[in-house]
Amino acid sequence: MTDQTEVLDRGPFFHGTKVALNVGDQLEAKFPSNYQDKRANYIYFTATLEAAKWGAELAKGDETERIYLVEPLGTFEDDPNLTDKRFPGNPTRSYRSQQPLVIVAELATWERHTEEVIHQMKTSLAKLRAEEKNVILD
């Protein structure tokens, strides 16, 4: 994790999900994951709208997709599931923290990926699950 003197990214930061939240609510680690049947050790967020859209669109559940503007309340680190594992560096500007994020606002409108593109991504992820290659380092 970064220390208080090192800033990985100044944001703004986003969190995509299907969970209905309110301004002032805190997202915390140790709650059910948006993507796996387990409790997550970290809370994940991004500084790109594109990655937040995928977070919302791929989250479990049938609820409304939402993207929140969030503010980290503590230290955070690059998300090792994307950084250097899938993409050199951190072009998705994806991060994780064991400290809470506070909801600052909800994006009222944003453009979803097409149903075809979302279906292709879900098919690719299902293939990885079947091959037991969908490991999330948490």
pLDDT value for 3: 45
Q: Which H or E run includes 69?
A: strand 66-72
pLDDT value for 98: 94
**Domains with residue ranges and CATH for the chain:** 13-130 (3.20.170.40)
Residue 83 dihedral angles phi and psi, to the nearest 5°: -65, 120
The whole model's pTM is what?
0.82
pLDDT value for 4: 47
pLDDT value for 135: 59
pLDDT value for 33: 59
Work out the percent of the chain whose per-residue pLDDT is above 70: 79
Rg (Cα) of the chain, in Å, rounded?
14
pLDDT value for 47: 95
pLDDT value for 124: 84
Neighbours of 47 (CB within 10 A): 18
pLDDT value for 84: 63
All residue ranges of the chain with pLDDT < 70 are 1-7, 31-39, 83-87, 132-138
For 14, the token pair is 């986003």
Alpha-carbon distance of 72 to 26, in angstroms, equals: 10
pLDDT value for 122: 86
